[in-house]
Structure 1
Amino acid sequence: MGTSFSVIPVIDLRHGRVVRARRGERHSYAPIETPLAKGSEPGPIAAALAGAVDARILYLADLDAIMDGAPPNLAAVAAVARACPGVALWLDAGFAEAGAVESVIASGLARPVLGSESQRDPDLVRACGARAILSLDRSGAERLDPAGLHARPGIWPDDVIVMSLDRVGAGLGPDLDGLAAARALAPRARLYAAGGVRGAGDLAALRAAGAAGALVASAIHDGRIGAADLGEG
């Protein structure tokens, strides 16, 4: 594993607009209001977030796909790609079938994220291998994991997100215990914490815990994390 630590801004998309996430209560997410950019169009918001922390990666959650089973909104993904040249995109669009995953990979727009909450068959994770990222989703103590992926580290790819939905936008701090549990199962994986990051102190704690990075939204929008808070791991 490398020693660098990545702050990965998060964009949640609903009906083609960026919304503000909180505690995984997706039906109540409202269009974003942020001092970083006007409006809620994906391109300008993405560019502002990436610029605020000199991001190399952006994470997009397509909530229409995750919640309603809609096809991935590749037009919105393309708009983000145009606005953020040179920034890699990770896309969670509720992928549960090989065809949809292969389509996104073939588009060259983004690397697919396979959320455990959406998986019914672990073979998709195994077949994708390093071409995809696995997100181990939970809300509180509940694993969102129909396929039992949390307990199958032997098929995890190199990049794994430890996603705590109940902590998103809630200011509760990152799930260090969940990160440690994943680390014990997969010592060589690159682990990324998602949910609860409040500021530079939490980034330091995650670095010390061996995380490869953190997915962050609210703390960047609110000015609690900026480029000055970043450094080499």
Structure 2
Amino acid sequence: MQVIPVLDLLDGHVVRAVRGERSAYRPIQSRLAPTSDPLAVARALLEVSGARTLYIADLGAILQRGAHASTLAALRAALPGVELWLDAGFADYTSMRAQFERIDDAIAEHHNQHGNHAAASHLATLVPVFGTETLRDTHALHAAQRAGLAPILSLDHRAGELLAATSLDDSSAWWPSRVIAMTLDQVGSYTGPDLATFERLRARAAAHTTLIGAGGIRNRDDLAAAASTGATAWLVASALHDRQIDCTHPDSA
């Protein structure tokens, strides 16, 4: 099972997420890096996980406290070959497209200032994540798919209940090919992954759906338990920052 590291951005810093209580998030204190600088922490997370995918939650955008277009542009430019999954509180396809364009504009501005025009092939791939907590138009997923963006759906849960900004079809017919089972109150909690919610969603998913778990991983035993459910990947942050797991040295946890 693949470990996908998570980068939570707020007020220009990487912050430590705990149980989805965003007002209490503080700049990260990590054993991986001596700073909360997004690029330094991103590189450290990718190195310790061995991943080529990085999940980014732009909490500034989600909380409407200021999106991180410049920071995301810098990450795209500095991490070629990496896939960046971005959840920025998208309500619909229009808001997603606008945020992607702001990131592209920030890249262009940087290149103009420094006289360095990198080709798109030398940028990290940006993938939109639509979370049900903020998504108001499920047609956004189809629009993003038609635009070639391979969107991801995050089914956001708290206390076992789906968080939804609008009424949603109970079937999985509208789900894209990649879906995250997100349990916000398990994030950073060190209480273990919510396998019950994951297995419930897996039972609903179509055969072609890739289901990814999120939250609660404490150690390698938790990773093994999560893998036993059939998860192809799991989003992890705290256990990486605290060196409870090191995917590049499996026996060091």
The TM-score normalised by the length of structure 2 is 0.83
Contact residue 57 and residue 88 of structure 1 kept, 8 A = yes
Instruction: Specify the alignment match of 2:222 in structure 1.
Output: 202
Q: d(CA) in 2 for partners of 1:53 and 1:150?
A: 35
Indicate the RMSD between aligned Cα atoms, in angstroms: 1.9
How far has the Cα of 1:102 moved from its partner?
A: 2.6
Matched residue count? 225
Moved more, 32-41 or 98-107: 98-107
Pairing of 1:120-199 with structure 2 (within 5 A):
120-129=136-145, 131-149=150-168, 151-188=170-207, 189-199=209-219
Compared CA separation, residues 12 and 150, structure 1 to 2 (3 A): farther
The TM-score normalised by the length of structure 1 is 0.89
SS at match of 2:54: strand
How far has the Cα of 1:126 moved from its partner?
A: 3.5
Contact residue 92 and residue 136 of structure 2 kept, 8 A = no
Compared CA separation, residues 139 and 220, structure 1 to 2 (3 A): same
Compared CA separation, residues 105 and 15, structure 1 to 2 (3 A): closer
Counterpart amino acid of residue 101 in structure 1: M
Identity across matched positions, percent: 44
Q: d(CA) in 2 for partners of 1:185 and 1:147?
A: 20
How far has the Cα of 1:37 moved from its partner?
A: 0.9
Instruction: Specify the alignment match of 2:81 in structure 1.
Output: 86
Instruction: Specify the alignment match of 1:43 in structure 2.
Output: 39
Contact residue 17 and residue 42 of structure 1 kept, 8 A = yes
SS at match of 1:166: helix
> CA-to-partner distance for each residue in 1:106-141, whole Å, 9 max, x for gaps?
647510100000012222233334621000001113
Instruction: List runs of 5+ in structure 1 lacking aligned partners.
Output: none
Q: d(CA) in 1 for partners of 2:143 and 2:167?
A: 16
Larger radius of gyration: 2
Contact residue 160 and residue 197 of structure 2 kept, 8 A = no
Q: d(CA) in 2 for partners of 1:150 and 1:48?
A: 39
Counterpart amino acid of residue 76 in structure 1: T
Moved more, 178-187 or 190-199: 178-187
Q: d(CA) in 2 for partners of 1:16 and 1:145?
A: 27
